[in-house]
């Protein structure tokens, strides 16, 4: 796989990274239903065997569980991938999730993530959400200080807009931005991606398959039968009126993929990667066998005609 430099850092990353949200498991507000850790570990190992060299997780995924599972999956692995994790989403003794960008809170979070990940340094530490917005400066200055202290190697942001990134940049350069970006969520194309590109901020796109919706494995029947604690059951993308349009998009992805022997998931991720401002796509997998159905996206190129076809579909759907 062709590697790309992660913004101003010395890290070179594969076009696809492993997304570790779903492997956080059940029992918290943004769970994906129940999850078997053995499957999670097998899925991570499969990703590493396929050549993927970075994993994106967060403290809040499974309230620490995702980071622990990542550490278990890396036991005895000789060629370790880069570990990217996130701070700012915290939880109390009742497992209620809140947000904090206060220095003491971030420092506590960082120590907890280092412990769970069983490492001395985090390769990329990201602010998960710019919330509370008035504390962006305090949070970002804390990340910069932690980098100087050697606890983390590089610092990035997630879900920031241009104004918020400018505020952070006044304190310390940003290595990467992690925005939501997929065929059905293109809001960042107008201002955020061009800004990141101009400023040499790497873009690692999250939910490139719209959290499974664009893989071809999601149907109205399957959505209706999702477990009660799968957050997707209640999300607007998975409900009407958007659902029918989204599933129609999958039909187009399937038709394009068929011409190349590719899955709809590969076409969806290849489309994200076709944007030159995107450095990498974070692909979520939770069972062995899933990643092999997507990994081909790292090399697959959509033709200019196919890109126009997809664009036309959008123009029609928006009309
Ligand atoms: N910074 C943020 O605020 C933020 C927010 C969201 C995500 N992220 C990051 O981005 C990563 C990826 O996003 P995501 O997990 O939302 O979604 P995604 O990558 O768009 O979709 C992942 C889901 O698609 C399904 N899938 C994967 N491979 C498949 C295959 N070959 N065939 C059929 N279905 C397949 C799986 O769901 P099923 O097993 O249920 O079918 C999987 O959990 C996350 O893990 C996380 O690291 C960050």
205 CB-contact burial (10 Å; exposed 0-12 / middle 13-18 / buried 19+): buried
Query: Which atom number of ligand 1 is nearest to the Cα of residue 21?
Result: 45
Residue numbers annotated as active site: 61
CA of 271 to the centre of ligand 1 (A): 16
Does the predicted model carry a pTM greater than 0.85?
yes
Query: Which atom number of ligand 1 is nearest to the Cα of residue 212?
Result: 24
What does each C-alpha distance from 49 to 24, 221, 239, 258, 280 come to in angstroms?
21, 34, 36, 26, 18
What does each C-alpha distance from 317 to 38, 157, 219, 240, 248 come to in angstroms?
41, 32, 19, 14, 10
Query: Which atom number of ligand 1 is nearest to the Cα of residue 290?
Result: 31
Q: What is the distance between the alpha carbons of residues 243 and 237, in angstroms, rounded to a whole number?
A: 6
Residue 319: its pLDDT value, please? Answer: 62
Q: Do 223 and 232 meet the contact criterion of CB atoms below 8 Å apart? A: yes
Running along the chain, 319 residues long, what does each successive block of 10 average in pLDDT? 96 98 96 97 97 98 98 96 98 97 98 98 98 98 98 98 98 98 96 98 98 95 94 95 92 95 97 98 97 96 94 76
Q: What is the distance between the alpha carbons of residues 172 and 88, in angstroms, rounded to a whole number?
A: 18
CA of 141 to the centre of ligand 1 (A): 30
Q: Do 6 and 124 meet the contact criterion of CB atoms below 8 Å apart? A: yes
Number of domains in the chain: 1
CA of 237 to the centre of ligand 1 (A): 14
Q: Ligand 1: residues whose CB is within 6 Å?
A: 19-22, 32, 56, 128, 158-159, 178, 206-212, 215, 217, 265, 282-286, 290, 293-294
Residue nearest to atom 39 of ligand 1 (CA): 286
Residue nearest to atom 26 of ligand 1 (CA): 212
Residue numbers of the domain that contains 9? 4-212+265-300
CA of 204 to the centre of ligand 1 (A): 13
CA of 213 to the centre of ligand 1 (A): 9
Whether 78 is in a domain gets the answer yes
Q: How many Å separate Cα 271 from the centre of its chain?
A: 16
Q: What is the distance between the alpha carbons of residues 152 and 306, in angstroms, rounded to a whole number?
A: 41
Q: What is the distance between the alpha carbons of residues 120 and 223, in angstroms, rounded to a whole number?
A: 41
Q: What is the distance between the alpha carbons of residues 234 and 223, in angstroms, rounded to a whole number?
A: 9
Whether 231 is in a domain gets the answer no
DSSP string, 54-119: EEE--TTTTTTHHHHHHHHHTTT-SSPPEEEEEESEEE-TT--EEE---HHHHHHHHHHHHHHHT-
Residue nearest to atom 41 of ligand 1 (CA): 212
Residue 313: its pLDDT value, please? Answer: 87
**Angle, CA of 291, 129 and 149, to the nearest 5°:** 90
Whether 228 is in a domain gets the answer no
Whether 128 is in a domain gets the answer yes
Residue nearest to atom 10 of ligand 1 (CA): 206
Judged by phi (left if over 0) then psi (alpha if -120 to 50, else beta), residue 206 lies in beta
Q: Do 133 and 164 meet the contact criterion of CB atoms below 8 Å apart? A: yes
Partners of 145 in the β-ladder: none
CATH value at residue 123? 3.20.20.100
Using most ligand atoms within 8 A of CB, pick from 29, 160, 207 the residue to mutate for ligand 1.
207
């Amino acid at each position: 796989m062709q590697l790309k430099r992660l913004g101003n850092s010395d890290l070179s990353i594969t076009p696809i990274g492993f997304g570790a949200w779903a492997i956080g498991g059940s029992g918290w507000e943004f769970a994906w239903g129940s999850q078997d850790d053995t499957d999670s570990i097998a899925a991570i190992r499969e990703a590493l065997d396929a050549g993927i060299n970075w994993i994106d997780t967060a403290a809040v995924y499974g309230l620490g569980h995702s980071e622990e599972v990542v550490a278990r999956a890396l036991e005895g692995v000789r060629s370790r991938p880069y570990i990217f994790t996130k701070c700012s989403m915290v939880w109390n003794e009742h497992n209620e999730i809140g947000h904090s960008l206060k220095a003491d809170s971030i420092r506590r979070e960082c120590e907890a993530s280092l412990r769970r990940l069983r490492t001395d340094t985090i390769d990329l530490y990201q602010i998960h959400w710019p919330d509370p917005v008035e504390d962006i400066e305090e949070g970002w200055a804390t990340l910069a200080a932690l980098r100087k202290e050697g606890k983390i190697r590089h610092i990035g942001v997630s879900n920031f807009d241009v104004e918020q990134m400018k505020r952070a940049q006044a304190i310390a350069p940003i290595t990467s931005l992690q925005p939501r970006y997929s065929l059905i969520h293109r809001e960042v194309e107008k201002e955020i991606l061009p800004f990141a590109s101009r400023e040499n901020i790497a873009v690692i796109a999250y939910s490139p398959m719209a959290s499974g919706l664009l893989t071809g494995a999601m149907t109205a029947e399957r959505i209706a039968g999702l477990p009660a604690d799968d957050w997707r059951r209640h999300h607007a993308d998975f409900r009407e009126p958007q659902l029918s349009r989204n599933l129609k998009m999958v039909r187009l992805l399937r038709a394009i993929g068929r011409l190349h022997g590719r899955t709809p998931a590969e076409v969806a991720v290849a489309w994200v990667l076709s944007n030159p401002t995107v450095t990498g796509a974070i692909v979520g997998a939770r069972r062995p066998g899933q990643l092999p159905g997507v990994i081909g996206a790292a090399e697959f190129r959509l033709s200019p005609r196919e890109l126009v076809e997809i664009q036309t579909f959008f123009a029609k759907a928006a009309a």
